[in-house]
């Protein structure tokens, strides 16, 4: 639906316990405004179930702040063969924010940075991150998904601009300053730098 308002692009990254929402939990969410990355949001979230896929938990646990007190313990180290995903979910159960509070806060944050502009979600893999965001908004928030149907799959946009389905975002040579990678906020910030380069090619100044 056309609103006539100028868009504001919000880089979003999600880490999750598995590939689909509902069965699997969103572990963390990070976001920032493309072109104004000091405006940022990050939350680690209480799980909605005990279900997980090991590979998803290994990736999703790499940047969790709640695990910092357990550094050096093999059962909390995603790189170690003794890694125990269920223990990570237990930590999030204690330390994470309730999903409803997370999504209400995320909604209010998007409102606050958007002002009179139209928020568009920018992700690397829209079918994954966008799916979790939409499901969590629909399930836990008193408001509708603030992004509506407006989402940009950054990787596919870049492929289209280049006219080459084989090219990927690494060709942009964006400096990777993530510390650590797979922290949802660090990933959103990294992604936003790529988005800024691409969107300037599309819009010029945005």
CATH of the domain at 180: 3.30.420.10
Q: Determine the pLDDT at residue 129.
A: 97
Q: Per-residue b/e over 25-54, b at no fewer than 16 CB within 10 Å?
A: bbbbbbbbbbbebeebbbbbbbbbeeebbe
Residue 27 within any structural domain of the chain: yes
User: Predicted confidence band at 206 (pLDDT cuts at 50, 70, 90)?
Assistant: low
Q: Give pLDDT, residue 121.
A: 98
Contact 7/116 with Cβ under 8 angstroms?
Answer: no
Tens of pLDDT, residues 6-56: 999 999 999 999 999 999 999 999 999 999 999 999 999 999 999 999 999
Q: Per residue in 154-186, pLDDT tens?
A: 999 999 999 999 999 999 999 898 888 899 999
Long-range residue pairs from 197-200, CB within 8 A, at least 24 positions apart, any chain = 197/172, 198/154, 198/157, 198/158, 198/161, 198/172, 199/9, 199/34, 199/35
For the chain, the first-to-last Cα distance in angstroms comes to: 20
Write down the pLDDT at residue 3.
58
Q: What pLDDT does 135 receive?
A: 97
Residue 80 lies in a domain: no
Q: Please say whether the beta carbons of 184 and 12 come within 8 A.
A: no
Q: What is the per-residue pLDDT for 71?
A: 92
Identify whether 44 is part of a domain: yes
* 76 in any annotated domain: no
* Position 133 in a domain: yes
Domain assignment of residue 35, yes or no: yes
What total of structural domains would you count in the chain? 1
- Mean pLDDT, the chain, rounded, equals 95
- Structural domain includes residue 160: yes
Give the residue numbers spanning the domain of 162.
7-48+98-203
pTM of the model: 0.94
Q: What CA–CA distance (Å, rounded) separates 134 from 8?
A: 18
Asked if residue 2 is part of any domain, the answer here is: no
| pLDDT value, residue 188 | 97
Residue 1 has pLDDT above 60, yes or no: no
Task: Report whether pLDDT(76) > 90.
Answer: yes
The 8-class DSSP code of residue 51 comes to -
**Amino acid 205: pLDDT:** 72
């Amino acid at each position: 639906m056309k609103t006539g308002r100028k868009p504001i692009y919000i880089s979003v990254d999600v880490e999750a316990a598995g590939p689909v929402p509902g069965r699997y939990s969103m572990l963390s969410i990070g976001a920032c405004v493309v072109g104004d990355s000091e405006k940022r949001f990050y939350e680690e979230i209480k799980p909605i179930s005990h279900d997980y896929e090991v590979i998803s938990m290994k990736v999703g646990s790499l940047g969790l702040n709640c695990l910092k007190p357990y550094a050096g313990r093999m059962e909390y180290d995603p790189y170690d063969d003794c890694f125990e995903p269920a223990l990570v979910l237990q930590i999030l159960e204690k330390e994470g924010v309730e999903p409803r509070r997370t999504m209400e806060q995320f909604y209010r944050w998007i409102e606050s940075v958007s002002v009179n502009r139209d928020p568009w979600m920018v992700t690397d893999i829209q079918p994954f991150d966008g799916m979790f965001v939409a499901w969590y908004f629909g399930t836990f928030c008193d408001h509708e998904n603030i992004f509506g149907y407006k989402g940009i799959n950054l990787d596919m946009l870049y492929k289209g601009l280049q006219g080459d389905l084989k090219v990927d975002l690494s060709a942009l040579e964006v400096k990777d300053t993530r510390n650590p990678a797979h922290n949802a906020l660090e990933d959103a910030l990294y992604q936003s730098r790529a988005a800024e380069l691409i969107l300037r090619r599309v819009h010029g100044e945005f």
